[in-house]
Amino acid sequence: MQQRERMPAYLELGWGSKLAIYVALGLGAVIMVLPFVWMASTACKPSAELNRLPLRWLPENLACAANLAQLYDTSENFNRYLLNTALMTAGRTLGQLVTCSLAAYGFARFRFPGRDLIFALCLALLMIPFQAILIPEYLLIRQLGWQNTFLALIVPGTFSAFALFLLRQAFLQIPIDLEEAAEIDGANPLQILWKVTLPLSIPALAAFAVITVQAAWNDFLFPLVVANTPQTRVVTIGVALLQGERSTPWNLLMMGSLLATLPMLVMFLLLQRYFIEGISMSGLKR
């Protein structure tokens, strides 16, 4: 007799337990969404309503278009900042895809002396605070003549220890028989990686894309140090420059933050299913 498959544990809970879980998750979702709601609301408030008490969540007089126009009057290069951020993000993401996928495939499929030690040293990079290596990186970039260039923004971010770990764990879940069959057909390791392994790792690649793009898009400290001219300035710095010494136009600041946040929200909504699957795969052992 075949053993009956057990139902998922959450389906066996009583209605009271399910209701408590739903209420807790709903409260958590509301708490997470409230800052975004306040940002969008403030972005559409006229200056007269910013300091009005009691606070109102919704503006009485919508001023979205006026605030947007005023934002571009105050920061004429804001679109350039968005473009610079997009270029930096694309360069880092593609660079990490190349370097980390090649390294992850090597650690997952090939045996060589010191493999485990080298992989452990790569993961040890996750324990080093970025601030500890910021000054050495800046000095190296200045010596190379890359300061205030896109090379300074992109090249140091083309490797990630977390992306290496994520992709290696994903590659380990792919049956080795598929790759051996491709090898018998005459495919070399690069062809196997490109035509077999990567297409079967779409969830992990989506998770990798979400994490890498979000980290690069929101990067502030490193671009501030190595590239701070109007031609290479990124949007996080552009938003920070909206703050004044004596007063800050919060509606313009929130409008700039909203414009900078929308691409990340859209990307996550489109890739959230693959993101969750990819993170789940990275926790599996083999």
HSE-CB of 280 using CA atoms within 13 angstroms:
8
CA distance 19 to 15: 6
Per-residue DSSP letters for the chain?
-PPPPPPPGGGGS-HHHHHHHHHHHHHHHHHHHHHHHHHHHHHT--GGGTT-SS--SS-SS--HHHHHHHHHHH-TTHHHHHHHHHHHHHHHHHHHHHHHHHHHHHHHH---TTHHHHHHHHHHGGGS-HHHHHHHHHHHHHHHT-TTSHHHHHGGGS--HHHHHHHHHHHHTS-HHHHHHHHHTT--HHHHIIIIITGGGHHHHHHHHHHHHHHHHT--HHHHHH--STTT--HHHHHHTT--SS---HHHHHHHHHHHHHHHHHHHHHHHHHHHHHHHHHT---
> pLDDT tens string for the chain (286 positions)?
444 556 666 667 777 777 888 899 999 999 999 999 999 999 998 888 888 878 788 888 888 899 999 999 988 999 999 999 999 999 999 999 999 999 999 999 998 898 999 999 988 988 888 889 999 999 999 999 999 999 999 999 999 999 999 899 989 988 899 888 988 888 898 999 998 999 888 888 888 888 899 899 999 999 999 988 889 999 999 999 988 767 788 889 999 999 999 988 888 788 777 666 655 555 444 4
User: Do residue 149 and residue 238 come from a single domain?
Assistant: yes
Query: In terms of domains, do 256 and 274 share one?
Result: yes
User: What is the domain count for the chain?
Assistant: 2
Structural domain boundaries, residue 36: 9-63
- State whether 56 and 181 are in the same domain: no
Q: Which candidate, 201, 200, 189, places its Cα nearest to that of 163?
A: 201
CA distance 103 to 115: 11
Residues 206 and 257 in one domain: yes
What amino acid occupies position 141?
A: I
My answer on whether omega of the bond before 136 falls inside 30° of 0, hence cis, is no
97 inside domain: yes
Residues 158 and 255 in one domain: yes
What separation, in Å, do the N-terminal and C-terminal C-alpha atoms of the chain show? 30
Q: Is residue 4 part of a domain?
A: no
Q: 89 and 229: one domain?
A: yes
CA 87 to chain centre: 14
Is residue 2 a part of any domain in this protein?
no
Q: Do 76 and 58 sit in the same domain of this protein?
A: no
Enter the pTM of the model: 0.83
Predicted pLDDT of residue 286: 45
Is 47 in the same domain as 123?
Answer: no
Same domain (yes/no): 112, 154: yes
One domain for residues 120 and 38: no
Dihedral of alpha carbons 172, 173, 177, 178, sign: negative
Q: Are residues 80 and 59 in the same domain?
A: no
